[in-house]
Chain A
């Protein structure tokens, strides 16, 4: 492979954007980290570790911070979660490790696990030390990984540590999937995601960018490799299916977020409407505020109780000044040359629990930018077209069906993990899936080998 420009040096958010998206949770310094680490009880079979999808040994890495063994701490984290730095910033810890911390049960603040994790990972990155793992002795076996998001990256790391070649194919020009292009910049800056992947690449991973795999491509990969991992994530944001959707001034959350994170977008107009109330919609709305919008509305078909965003994300949005319109349905987008407003109809619930438009309640909310965020579609369609000789890959409602413990699909040579299997969860879930799959692939290949 020819020498390439390190990932973090290839693209970045514009400086004026970076400035407005400063750390939501600032880093701890040593004098704060050590007493916080000492506060951890060092629970046995710790609930925080159980709650972490990658089962990072939380008390172990925290006690290493307390003892001043920072390299050991980082290694403990990476051993369980190769994207430990990204996760320390991106994870919704309120419902994960910190939510499970026993401290809640006697009226104490939970241990700040994520910030401690970041402290250890930052220290590793600042030290300039290499990734604390070596690739395993080459076995001559190889796997193709479709997608280079968190699921594939974690899978690749496990494979490389076992001496199995990992070829990653991604449609995008840079690795990381939504970890790079999706997570809000005030949580995880794009360059930090790339920095972490650059480190992971020390295990000797082969990247093939700007390569979209279709049915034919998949068949080719199946033939060339001993196993295939599918980490393709989810697809585009759903369309509304209303008039005016094609007007300039109508975009979707993923494009907006990827745009400001990678430097191609630096401002938004004053009046912004975000359609949808999931975590992605919240991220888009907050991004709009920080990119200079003066009025940002989230419009949603249901009420706050039904929204899919986490409570703390909802609170965050309100604090940033985002306003909410509940129980309204978009029926059209107004505008001649560009979007000028969104037509909304109020909804009411009937006795049988269904929601119906309230007659005569139509109104227009003026807007210069309309951001759609009503869920990502699946894009696993091409899998059913693939005519694999070894069997069919079972897909249910767009999600690839796997054995949770090994990541294996109904076609034994294919493994899968991440958003394309779980319907869209978090980075850490994708890492956990990828890790289990990496171990699963190695075990399966070994069994094959023994059988031969």
Chain B
């Protein structure tokens, strides 16, 4: 027995949660019947498919990006909010809450930008028994044409004002769901906070065109030969979501309890969002892909990891990684690592070699069998030599040693060598290497004191003007 008995129970803005795993407002939360099955499968909460004046959807609605044989690495939709009447949704909320009082039901709302309309829908949703409200300021398509969705999320003043209207009426926590389709997520986040929001959720889907059919020249998803900007989500968007989550959590003007969304499909993803400060996480694409049952391993995996790390509650590790995200200028410039190839693991694919030559700093060489290190031989020279080789089929009868081609031992000449004096420690070779731990990045700066760009500027070692051009990744 482990000395720790971790629990996934938590609270979100005072709402008790059985676990942090919520279904995001989307098709998996379309109706009460679905949500009750989801709760049976283990989901701790559900954000109802956005409720508002019923809309008409198009057919088709979805498209996706497959990645090397795996389906739906990126998912795209052009559907709108719920197509069901408001009263039906509200009746079902009441029904679900009656049957599942311990599970969280959040009503996602989107109505016309009028004070009374918002007041009315808030009242009705809360009367139905919703534990909280999520304001959908993020839907990137269709609704913005009607002055709703991201049209609101993209204008901080509207965002603040509508949040304010809702707060005038609401008795339950108000969560503002942010659109990522802005240049700086902190601007709408601050507006929501100023408007009185109790919490935030991020991100909604990202504007996208997933692809064009090369035979018909039609973008997908195809609606009678045409398509429209969709909202992108699924595994592909996780890094973008994590970045926005961190930006919100590191900004005093934005920080609020946060429900993380975007590309979450397993417990590892969930742990990452929590390490950057989220209190709950929401899932859409993964549930659409594999069904509600994925939550079983999300719970099991997270609990096992928590036990291993000695965490008893989510609060024990929530936000732990936030201090580790810094501005570039604060990073230690004297930290130096170099690539090291572990010959016993190397399979001789030479991907590190070609990557370093063409994509990094030309410091990996194929000279293990030459008498002296040879850093002058280029990839083109290697290829020319190879083309000249005469190879034949090894025939048992004709060749001494027989036809033993299959070797589990990599020949020395195929194992590349890193010239550590020229390696800049960029990581590229270790990222392309297909064998785990075959290239490790080893620290070599042991005796040098840490020093950042900021510190160098302060000491007058570098001119401050150079600062503007430093980072290429803004």
Q: What residues of chain A have their CB less than 8 Å away from a CB belonging to chain B? A: 34-35, 38, 41-45, 47, 49-53, 55, 66, 91-92, 94-96, 99-100, 102-106, 278, 307-311, 404-405, 422-426, 428-429, 432, 436
| Contact present for A428 and B405 (CB under 8 Å) | no
Residue of B nearest to A100 (CB): B405
In whole angstroms, what is the CA distance A94 to B409 when docked? 16
| Contact present for B394 and A95 (CB under 8 Å) | yes
Chain A residues in 8 Å Cβ range of B379: 44-45
Best-buried of A35, A43, A424 by chain B (most CB within 10 Å)? A43
| Contact present for A94 and B406 (CB under 8 Å) | yes
Chain B residues in 8 Å Cβ range of A66: 68
Known contacts: A44-B354, A102-B348. The answer to whether A96 contacts B405 by CB under 8 A is yes
| Contact present for B393 and A95 (CB under 8 Å) | yes
Does B397 make an interface contact (CB < 8 A)?
Answer: yes
| Contact present for A42 and B398 (CB under 8 Å) | no
| Contact present for A55 and B392 (CB under 8 Å) | no
Q: In the complex, which of the residues B349, B387, B405 contacts A44, with contact meaning CB atoms closer than 8 Å?
A: B349
Chain B residues in 8 Å Cβ range of A424: 395, 398
Best-buried of A55, A66, A436 by chain B (most CB within 10 Å)? A55
Residue of B nearest to A80 (CB): B387
| Contact present for B393 and A53 (CB under 8 Å) | yes
| Contact present for B408 and A43 (CB under 8 Å) | no
Does B434 make an interface contact (CB < 8 A)?
Answer: yes
Q: Besides the contacts A55-B387, A100-B406, A424-B395, what 11 more A-B pairs have beta carbons closer than 8 Å?
A: A43-B349, A45-B350, A45-B379, A53-B393, A95-B394, A95-B405, A96-B405, A99-B406, A102-B410, A105-B348, A105-B408
Known contacts: A44-B353, A99-B405. The answer to whether A106 contacts B391 by CB under 8 A is no
Chain B residues in 8 Å Cβ range of A95: 393-394, 403, 405-406
Interface code B226-242, partner A: CB below 8 Å = 1, 0 otherwise? 00000000000000000
Residue of A nearest to B403 (CB): A95
Chain B residues in 8 Å Cβ range of A308: 395-397
Interface code B397-434, partner A: CB below 8 Å = 1, 0 otherwise? 11000010111111000100000000000000000001
Interface code B340-364, partner A: CB below 8 Å = 1, 0 otherwise? 0000010111110110000000000
| Contact present for B406 and A425 (CB under 8 Å) | no
| Contact present for B395 and A425 (CB under 8 Å) | yes
Best-buried of A94, A106, A425 by chain B (most CB within 10 Å)? A106
28 contacts between A and B (CB under 8 A): A35-B69, A38-B69, A41-B351, A41-B434, A44-B350, A44-B351, A44-B354, A44-B379, A49-B386, A50-B386, A50-B389, A50-B391, A51-B405, A52-B391, A55-B386, A92-B393, A96-B393, A102-B348, A104-B406, A104-B407, A105-B409, A106-B434, A308-B395, A308-B396, A309-B396, A424-B398, A425-B398, A428-B393
Chain B residues in 8 Å Cβ range of A404: 390
In whole angstroms, what is the CA distance A423 to B395 when docked? 10
Residue of A nearest to B346 (CB): A105
In whole angstroms, what is the CA distance A45 to B354 when docked? 9
Does B435 make an interface contact (CB < 8 A)?
Answer: yes
Shortest 10 CB-CB contacts between residues of A and residues of B: A35-B69, A99-B405, A308-B397, A44-B350, A38-B68, A105-B347, A44-B354, A43-B349, A102-B347, A95-B403
Chain B residues in 8 Å Cβ range of A96: 393, 405
| Contact present for B397 and A47 (CB under 8 Å) | no
| Contact present for B405 and A43 (CB under 8 Å) | no
In whole angstroms, what is the CA distance A44 to B406 when docked? 19
From residue A72, how far is it (CB to closest CB) to chain B in Å?
15
From residue A50, how far is it (CB to closest CB) to chain B in Å?
6
Does B372 make an interface contact (CB < 8 A)?
Answer: no
| Contact present for A53 and B391 (CB under 8 Å) | yes
Residue of A nearest to B354 (CB): A44
Q: In the complex, which of the residues B69, B383, B392, B405 contacts A45, with contact meaning CB atoms closer than 8 Å?
A: B383
**Chain B interface SS verdict (over half):** loop
Interface code B299-336, partner A: CB below 8 Å = 1, 0 otherwise? 00000000000000000000000000000000000000
Known contacts: A105-B347, A422-B392. The answer to whether A35 contacts B386 by CB under 8 A is no
| Contact present for A426 and B414 (CB under 8 Å) | no
In whole angstroms, what is the CA distance A395 to B401 when docked? 26
Residue of A nearest to B353 (CB): A44
Chain B residues in 8 Å Cβ range of A422: 392, 398
| Contact present for B390 and A106 (CB under 8 Å) | no
| Contact present for B349 and A102 (CB under 8 Å) | yes
Chain A residues in 8 Å Cβ range of B469: none
Q: In the complex, which of the residues B391, B410, B435 contacts A51, with contact meaning CB atoms closer than 8 Å?
A: B391
From residue B418, how far is it (CB to closest CB) to chain A in Å?
15
Known contacts: A95-B403, A308-B397, A425-B395. The answer to whether A41 contacts B349 by CB under 8 A is yes
Chain A residues in 8 Å Cβ range of B347: 102-103, 105-106
Known contacts: A429-B392, A429-B393. The answer to whether A94 contacts B348 by CB under 8 A is no
In whole angstroms, what is the CA distance A95 to B350 when docked? 21
| Contact present for A53 and B392 (CB under 8 Å) | yes
| Contact present for B393 and A94 (CB under 8 Å) | no
Chain A residues in 8 Å Cβ range of B348: 43, 47, 102, 105
Chain B residues in 8 Å Cβ range of A38: 68-69
In whole angstroms, what is the CA distance A129 to B386 when docked? 31
From residue B328, how far is it (CB to closest CB) to chain A in Å?
32
In whole angstroms, what is the CA distance A106 to B394 when docked? 23
Q: In the complex, which of the residues A102, A104, A105, A425 contacts B393, with contact meaning CB atoms closer than 8 Å?
A: A425
Does B382 make an interface contact (CB < 8 A)?
Answer: yes
In whole angstroms, what is the CA distance A102 to B435 when docked? 11
From residue A30, how far is it (CB to closest CB) to chain B in Å?
11
Chain A residues in 8 Å Cβ range of B349: 41, 43-44, 102
From residue A234, how far is it (CB to closest CB) to chain B in Å?
13
Chain A residues in 8 Å Cβ range of B391: 50-53, 55, 432
In whole angstroms, what is the CA distance A310 to B392 when docked? 15
Known contacts: A102-B347, A105-B410. The answer to whether A310 contacts B69 by CB under 8 A is no
Known contacts: A35-B68, A99-B406, A102-B349. The answer to whether A45 contacts B386 by CB under 8 A is yes
| Contact present for A42 and B406 (CB under 8 Å) | no
B66-96: which residues lie under 8 A (CB-CB) from chain A? Answer: 68-69
In whole angstroms, what is the CA distance A436 to B392 when docked? 13
From residue B190, how far is it (CB to closest CB) to chain A in Å?
44
In whole angstroms, what is the CA distance A41 to B405 when docked? 19
Interface code B146-160, partner A: CB below 8 Å = 1, 0 otherwise? 000000000000000
From residue A188, how far is it (CB to closest CB) to chain B in Å?
16
B283-301: which residues lie under 8 A (CB-CB) from chain A? Answer: none
| Contact present for B398 and A423 (CB under 8 Å) | yes
Best-buried of B398, B406, B435 by chain A (most CB within 10 Å)? B406
In whole angstroms, what is the CA distance A383 to B42 when docked? 84
Residue of B nearest to A278 (CB): B397
Chain A residues in 8 Å Cβ range of B383: 45
Chain A residues in 8 Å Cβ range of B397: 278, 308
Best-buried of B350, B379, B388, B408 by chain A (most CB within 10 Å)? B350
Chain A residues in 8 Å Cβ range of B405: 51, 94-96, 99-100
In whole angstroms, what is the CA distance A307 to B396 when docked? 8
In whole angstroms, what is the CA distance A309 to B383 when docked? 33
Best-buried of B68, B69, B366, B435 by chain A (most CB within 10 Å)? B69
Chain B residues in 8 Å Cβ range of A103: 347
In whole angstroms, what is the CA distance A104 to B392 when docked? 20
Residue of B nearest to A36 (CB): B69
In whole angstroms, what is the CA distance A309 to B403 when docked? 10
Chain B residues in 8 Å Cβ range of A310: 396, 403
From residue A182, how far is it (CB to closest CB) to chain B in Å?
15
Chain B residues in 8 Å Cβ range of A102: 347-349, 410
From residue A89, how far is it (CB to closest CB) to chain B in Å?
15
Chain B residues in 8 Å Cβ range of A100: 405-406
In whole angstroms, what is the CA distance A138 to B243 when docked? 64
In whole angstroms, what is the CA distance A41 to B383 when docked? 17
| Contact present for A426 and B434 (CB under 8 Å) | no
| Contact present for B351 and A43 (CB under 8 Å) | yes
In whole angstroms, what is the CA distance A139 to B383 when docked? 31
In whole angstroms, what is the CA distance A404 to B392 when docked? 11
